[in-house]
Amino acid sequence: MHIRLNAAALVLCISSCGLALADIQQRADANLLDRCPGYKIDHFGKVKHGFDATLELAGAPCNVYGKDILSLILSVRFDTKDRLHVHIRDSAGKQYQIPHSVIPLDIGSGVSESSSNLKFSYFHDPKTGFGFEVHRGTDVIFDTTGHPLIFEDQYLEITSSLPRNANIYGIGESPDYFRRDSSNTTKTLWNRDAADPFRENVYGSHSVYMELRQGLFHGAYLHNSHGMDIVLANDTIQYRVLGGTADFYFFAGTSALAVIDQYTELVGRPNQIPYWSLGFHNCRYGYKSVYEVNEVIANYSSANIPLEVAWTDIDYMDKTRDFTFDLVNFPLSEMQKQLQTLHERKQKMVLIIDPAILHSSSYPTYVRGHDLDVFIKNADGTEYIGQVWPGYTVFPDWFAPNTDKWWHGELQQCFDQLQIDGMWIDMNEASSFCTGSCGSGKPDDEIPPYPWLLESVEPPHRKINTTDKYLVPPYAIHNPLPEISDKTIETTAVHANGIIEYHVHNLYGYMESRTTRDFLLRHRPNERPFLLSRSTFSGSGALANHWTGDNAATWQDLHLSIASVFDFGIFGIPMVGADICGFNGNTTEELCARWIELGAFYPFSRDHNAIGMVPQELYRWDSVAEASRRALNVRYSLLPYFYTMYQHSVELGWPVARPLVFEFPGIPAVIDNDRQMLIGDGILVSPVLQKGAVSVDAFFPSGRWYDWYTFVEITGSSSNITLSAPLEHVNVHIRGGKIIATQPPALTTAEAREHDFSLLVATDYHGTASGELFVDDGQTLSSDHRWVQFEYADQALRIDHRSEGSFAIQQRISRIVLLGVPDIGMVFVNNIPAVSKISSKNGSIVICDLKIDINNATTISFL
């Protein structure tokens, strides 16, 4: 006998027996799902660059989580030689699909099957019906054998076999260790305002994953905006999706960087950042006034700690309303003075904006939006009203025809008053403090208290409407709240195109990023925008950058931040970082010191903490200040290298921060290493992640590695080496075989960019090394640029250029360090003896006082 509990009964069971609603439901319905007949294939035929077919239900409908769709269309297209598109959709076209106008996927030029590195085959199993396989050579990288396709109006299920103990990376956003546990992992994709709970769904939705098999990577992506669970268990990966279509893309790899290249070619390459954004940023939720922020800026300078960007959270607003300034604590005139001072010192300002708009006829922003009909509606046509910081709020409908015009107009009025340098969009999952349209019918001037500040116990959750299949879907994804509408816009809310929130919830932050970036591009047509967004979706990296949200000041979150940064490298959002020293909770001196030693190497490096917590600006403790100076000096020295690696992101999608497994996939010991971080392919950071530790066990792949500070060589043997790590020190090593361009550090990126270059030539066991440098103006979208290439062999360093690029580099190479080269006597530049100063240090040679022009091909010989 099979019993199906209704949702209300399941919620009651959760509270009494501690079980997850989706887990109970899964157990109750497992046998019914096993009886689903699958589909039979019909009318299979070749078309240009692929195949088309129809699929018909092969037996009696299951109707387990909705109504089985009887007829489907299968389309298979070889988009590129390394990308295969397999799309299964309903014949009637009623299932929601993400429009190309929302996310403009690259369709590829199309290739023949014989030209593709991926092959498609299908089969019919007598028990489970239609299935398909995707092959790369002799390896089957996706295989639905033995698992029926389930395609219902509110539930899709597609299952592929995996090897035992598969190496799976990606799928999120969800704080977790980098290598997913393939025996017991459920990743829920439903954007949610949640303070980084371990292994739960948080702010973004990314269904792309990579798998490593026998030293080779491949990948897959499901293009679908509905809520879903992606389950790794029983040697399978299973997609359980609340609607839409099975729109899959497969990537041949074979390296990790190749998979990311192929994925970002599809969804969009990362945006081109301004150079200044690579500097160090400071923020806090809870600054009491503009004057306090001025003191913070001054204190960083006094402590000789770099500060590039001063951020202000919602504190600057008048009663937390967008596009306003607190007349007393953050008066516009004082904010203008602050901005002017920052710009005089070559520093920048970024402010926060939330999407929720106060529902009040006395608030001009709301009135203008209401008049233009730009807000999400209830089913009865009234405005949907939730609760966020200002009180009862409405939410912009990014599908409405006038929303861009209205949003741009509000931003323009703000920028006309204060020409900030970048924008931070937050709370855009979208977040709401109540469930449903809780402000409907409330007086215009009523300001509700925040739920967590109520003296009495919070009111009971509303009665769950189990009769509405969009409020309570028949299948319950593992979103750990009674309803998927909790803490966000209700799933039955209606957008201007008639689509309900249920179908497009996960796109909200993406669409806000799109229209906000459009404004920034129109406002400053040739200037690179800087935009930071909390909520993201596939393709968001082309629009915005990301931080990992409201983490905690704990040692575990310090560790997990590395994996989160790696995840977003896969997701195509390389400009990412975690709140340094932790957002929630009180940090400690030791934790903050260790965090900046790691956070100094996040691509996006920002200190940020919550209201009511102990202040944690980097100058607050002597040891943290010293650790900050040391670590940030390394970062600022490496800015040319960071920027070069980021240009690879722009052109190829490659992440800046990388796990060792990306560079050394053949070494089993690194498949789950998320305790160290490579910057590009040449710099290895080995931070302390444990309380009280004064050493770190660092893994070094075979080869030569050189200590950043001392130039002492470490011989890597693909094993751990214990390194000394006193409180104020972070271990950084240069990989043998790489040439790293640096500049002397400074307190701002503008000052650092004025200095001459140094080259760290880290030789491998063959006495060779190579590297490159990308240079442009760091600001405009139309900048000339120059790629400089370095090659060292046979005691000669050759400087050359790619054929493209004409940017005139003013700075010279004034210093060269030959790591692993014990002795030289003279230096020749293009066969002419060079005036230089030569010294030795720990088995390496330091050559100073050079004046080498890198705009021209040059050969430097060392004899």
- Give the residues across from 686 on adjacent strands: 731
Task: In whole angstroms, give the CA distance from residue 820 to residue 845.
Answer: 8
From the list 82, 426, 501, 776, the catalytic residue is 426
* β-strand pairing of 179-180 with 83-90: unpaired
CA-derived radius of gyration, the chain: 28
The reply to whether 429 belongs to the active site is: yes
The reply to whether 550 belongs to the active site is: yes
Q: Which two tokens mark 403?
A: 């929303």
Q: Give the count of beta carbons closer than 10 Å to the beta carbon of residue 56.
A: 15
List all residues 6 or more positions away from 295 whose beta carbon is below 8 Å from its beta carbon. Answer: none
- CA 130, distance to chain mean position in Å, is 36
* Residue 517 · residue 409 · CB < 8 Å: no
Q: Which two tokens mark 13?
A: 């069971």
Helix (H, G, I), strand (E, B) or coil at 211: strand
List all residues 6 or more positions away from 440 whose beta carbon is below 8 Å from its beta carbon. Answer: 378, 382, 384, 385
Task: In whole angstroms, give the CA distance from residue 707 to residue 100.
Answer: 49
Task: In whole angstroms, give the CA distance from residue 47 to residue 77.
Answer: 9
CA distances from 567 to 64, 428, 576 (A): 34, 20, 10
Sign of the CA dihedral with 498 first, then 502, 506, and 509 last: positive
Which of 66, 75, 108, 120 has its CA nearest to residue 93? 75
Sheet holding 844-848, edge to edge: 832-833, 827-829, 858-862, 796-805, 785-793, 769-776, 738-742, 757-762, 813-819, 844-848, 837-841
* Residue 652 · residue 258 · CB < 8 Å: no
Task: In whole angstroms, give the CA distance from residue 73 to residue 687.
Answer: 51
* Residue 251 · residue 83 · CB < 8 Å: yes
Task: In whole angstroms, give the CA distance from residue 683 to residue 669.
Answer: 19
**H/E element holding 77?**
strand 71-80
From the list 429, 590, 674, 772, the catalytic residue is 429
- CA 137, distance to chain mean position in Å, is 31
Angle 256-267/555-570 helices, nearest 10 degrees? 70
CA distances from 414 to 13, 518, 651 (A): 50, 16, 33
Task: In whole angstroms, give the CA distance from residue 742 to residue 730.
Answer: 18
List all residues 6 or more positions away from 340 whose beta carbon is below 8 Å from its beta carbon. Answer: none
Which residue, chain included where needed, has tokens 């972070």? Answer: 730
The reply to whether 674 belongs to the active site is: no
Q: Give the count of beta carbons closer than 10 Å to the beta carbon of residue 53.
A: 17
From the list 68, 193, 512, 550, the catalytic residue is 550
Residue type, 99: P
CA distances from 613 to 194, 225, 351, 587, 789 (A): 18, 36, 21, 8, 48
Helix H segments across 545-621?
Answer: 555-570, 589-599
Q: Which two tokens mark 656?
A: 């800046």
- Burial code of 558-589, b = ≥16 C-beta within 10 A, e = fewer? bbbbbbbbbbbbbbbbbbbbbbbbbbbbebbb
Positions annotated as catalytic residues are 426, 429, 550
